[in-house]
Structure 1
């Protein structure tokens, strides 16, 4: 009887761990084994076994040191569900309000930026630079948009190009607005991420733009990760699916424009 209860408890604990891991991956697209180990209060070996099982079930994609969301790597596949897709549609629709004809724009990557690219009006004349191969492919259908891909090493954890050559190319660009996705954002620590190479590219993108808009579902608010990208004072707009008057955004309004 004791053995049966113990095995059943272990199963329930594993099931709960898998649920938490999937939420973290859906929310942040990328997770590190060391961070999951701390969050779940289990060994990294246990986390690696959990990730292997989830990968074997075709629910995630394992990478060195962690895992990434399937929707981040294969967003064009019809059978892949995008986490919080309806919220991201609302965010993209709001972001469109900042875009005017003949602007020069800089797009990062991720599913929310892809949604913005999908919603762009077909009749607008724009020049768009992007570090994301997926965004570039999405924009290839627009006859009036000139698309420039900033190439470099493909960071498989974020599915954007990174490295010194990318940062150098970005430094030569002067754009009107930079649109970026968010891993985590908080009042105290600003815009943060878990990937060092991505952070360096993001910093360069902010410097290259007159204005920067962060596109984030509200679940990523009040969360901090290990590497800082920028203080909120260096960002022009925070765009979420929430009404700008929502109480959850009240503290952010003191530092940044809310849409």
Structure 2
């Protein structure tokens, strides 16, 4: 198929084909893409430049590699491991107990926690950087949801920045409830740098911290360390961590709570 052929792919279709090809073969040369799609190498270079500007790929000398995100956006994560996250959220509400002032971070599991807490009916003041969490909690008149100030991050639905951190430091709460991008022997880490800074401050301002994370986060390390394992940290997860992670948690005085699903088993 020549570039002048009316049947040739439109730009968007061509770029989708490029992304699909890179997803199968993570590193392809410009000449390979040109041959496969029947267009000139200059056309491929323009496509790669546009996809790079859109942060879909990374350019290499003579080619490109598919850019794999460490974590999908919040809207995508809400569709993953739903039963496990619901079970973790319910157990977290039980462990919060009679605390009447706490902080809740952002993320998919934190949003499940907010939904579970909303239905619990107990009076509390909850401080959060996440709009979804604040909206869920505001539906319970017994809960006072305090939204932190800051710069809005649309993909994650939370605020961040110097104003957010400064406001967090003004408070002292009984419990901080946060999610995690990754968990390893060194502690809890977060893929989003600004969120990591927020969660670190939350841990510092709380008497104890509940980490809500499903098994897919085990044995991984993300961009920024939120905090190490210590005696005031409890990990709530859907299954037991592997031996190395479990030993690191126990040796540093942290606790592990395994949440079990309340859903009936499928026969």
TM-score, scaled to structure 1:
0.69
Question: For the residues of structure 2 that align with 1:109 and 1:117, how far apart are their CA atoms?
Answer: 10
Give runs of aligned pairs for residues 137-216 of structure 1, distance below 5 A: 137-187=135-185, 189-216=186-213
Match 2:246 to one of 243, 247, 250:
250
Distance 1:144 1:225, change over 3 A: same
The corresponding residue for 2:72 is 69
The corresponding residue for 1:47 is 66
Is 1:86 aligned to residue 83 of structure 2? yes
Distance 1:164 1:101, change over 3 A: same
Distance 1:43 1:159, change over 3 A: farther
What is the total number of aligned residue pairs between the two structures?
Answer: 210
Unaligned runs of 5+ in 2: 1-17, 27-54, 258-267
Question: For the residues of structure 2 that align with 1:183 and 1:134, how far apart are their CA atoms?
Answer: 18
**Cα shift readout 1:98-143 (whole Å, capped 9, x = no counterpart):** 1233510100011101111111244211111111011001111101
Question: For the residues of structure 1 that align with 2:63 and 2:149, how far apart are their CA atoms?
Answer: 34
Q: CA deviation at 1:13?
A: 5.9
The corresponding residue for 1:116 is 113
The corresponding residue for 2:98 is 101
Unaligned runs of 5+ in 1: 1-9, 19-32, 52-65, 76-80
The answer to whether the 8 Å contact 1:136/1:148 transfers is yes
The answer to whether the 8 Å contact 1:122/1:144 transfers is no
Question: For the residues of structure 1 that align with 2:237 and 2:141, how far apart are their CA atoms?
Answer: 29
Aligned alpha-carbon RMSD (Å): 3.4
Question: For the residues of structure 2 that align with 1:43 and 1:171, how far apart are their CA atoms?
Answer: 49
Q: CA deviation at 1:254?
A: 2.9
TM-score, scaled to structure 2:
0.68
**Cα shift readout 1:176-233 (whole Å, capped 9, x = no counterpart):** 100001001101x311123221221111111111101110011101101232111112
SS of aligned partner of 1:214? strand
